[in-house]
Amino acid sequence: MSSTVMVGSFHHFRSSANSFLSQYEPIILVSAPLLALVVARALHCFFTVLQEKGLKAAVLGIVVSLVKLIPIVDAYIASEKKKVVEKLQSGNKSNRDDWRTELPSIGLGKGVMEKLAEANSKDVPWKGKCSGTIYINGDPSEGHFALTNEAYSMFSHTNPLHQDVFRSVARFEAEVVAMTAAILGSKEKESGGQICGNMTSGGTESILLAVKTSRDFMKAKKGITKPEMIIAESAHSAYDKAAQYFNIKLRRIPVNKNFVADVKAVRRCINRNTILIIGSAPGFPHGLVDPIEELGELANRYDVCFHVDLCLGGFVLPFARKLGYPIPPFDFCVRGVTSISADVHKYGLAPKGTSIILYRNHEIRKHQFVAVTEWSGGMYVSPTIAGSRSGGLIAGAWAAMVSLGLNGYLENTRQIMEVSKKIQKGIEEIPELFIIGKPDMTVIAFASSVIDIFEVNDILSSKGWHLNVLQRPNSVHICVTLQHVPVYEDFLNDLRESVKTVKANPGPVTGGLAPIYGAAGKMPDRGLLHDVLLEFMDSNC
* 536 and 445, same domain (yes or no): yes
The sign of the dihedral angle between the CA atoms of 158, 162, 166, 167 is positive
pLDDT digits (tens, 9 = 90+) for 500-534: 999 999 887 776 666 666 656 555 556 666 676 77
* 347 and 424, same domain (yes or no): no
Q: Would residue 529 count as lying in a domain?
A: yes
**How far apart are the C-alpha atoms of 337 and 308, rounded to whole Å?**
7
Q: What are the contacts of 318-324 at 24+ separation with CB within 8 A?
A: 318/183, 318/184, 319/409, 319/410, 319/412, 319/413, 320/413, 320/417, 320/441, 322/410, 323/410, 323/413, 323/414, 323/417
The pLDDT, as a whole number, for residue 205 is 97
Residue-level pLDDT, tens digit, the chain, 541 residues: 556 666 667 677 777 767 776 777 777 767 777 777 777 776 766 666 556 555 655 566 666 666 666 777 666 666 666 766 666 666 555 567 778 889 999 999 999 999 998 888 888 777 788 999 889 988 888 899 999 999 999 999 998 888 888 899 999 999 999 999 999 999 999 999 999 999 999 999 999 999 999 999 999 999 999 999 999 999 999 999 999 999 999 999 999 999 999 999 999 999 999 999 999 999 999 999 999 999 999 999 999 999 999 999 999 999 999 999 999 999 999 999 999 999 999 999 999 999 999 999 999 999 999 999 989 999 888 899 998 899 999 999 999 999 999 999 999 999 999 999 999 999 999 999 999 999 999 999 999 999 999 999 999 999 999 999 998 899 999 999 999 999 999 999 999 999 999 999 988 777 666 666 665 655 555 666 667 677 767 766 7
Cα angle value 520/277/132 (rounded, 5°): 50
**Cα atoms found within 13 Å of the Cα of residue 472, Cβ hemisphere only:** 11
Last residue of a domain, one of 20, 50, 67: 67
CATH number of residue 520's parent domain: 3.90.1150.10
Phi, psi of 155 (to 5 degrees): -120, 15
* 411 and 498, same domain (yes or no): yes
CATH number of residue 164's parent domain: 3.40.640.10
* 51 and 184, same domain (yes or no): no
The amino acid at 380: Y
**How far apart are the C-alpha atoms of 179 and 385, rounded to whole Å?**
22
Helix, strand, or coil here: 155?
helix
The pLDDT, as a whole number, for residue 121 is 86
Q: Would residue 503 count as lying in a domain?
A: yes
Q: Would residue 2 count as lying in a domain?
A: no
* Domain count of the fold of the chain: 3
* 499 and 525, same domain (yes or no): yes
For 212, residues 6+ apart whose C-beta sits below 8 A from its C-beta are 242, 245, 246, 367, 368
* 192 and 236, same domain (yes or no): yes
Q: Cite the DSSP H helix spans in 135-237.
A: 143-155, 167-183, 203-222
Cα angle value 374/382/344 (rounded, 5°): 170
* 231 and 246, same domain (yes or no): yes
Q: Could you tell me the residue range of the domain that residue 36 belongs to?
A: 30-67
Cα angle value 98/104/105 (rounded, 5°): 140
* 398 and 502, same domain (yes or no): no
The amino acid at 76: Y
The amino acid at 281: A
Q: Would residue 54 count as lying in a domain?
A: yes
Phi, psi of 345 (to 5 degrees): -80, 5
* 413 and 347, same domain (yes or no): no
Task: Report the DSSP pairing between strands 443-447 and 468-470.
Answer: unpaired
Last residue of a domain, one of 389, 404, 419: 404
Last residue of a domain, one of 67, 95, 123: 67
The pLDDT, as a whole number, for residue 80 is 64
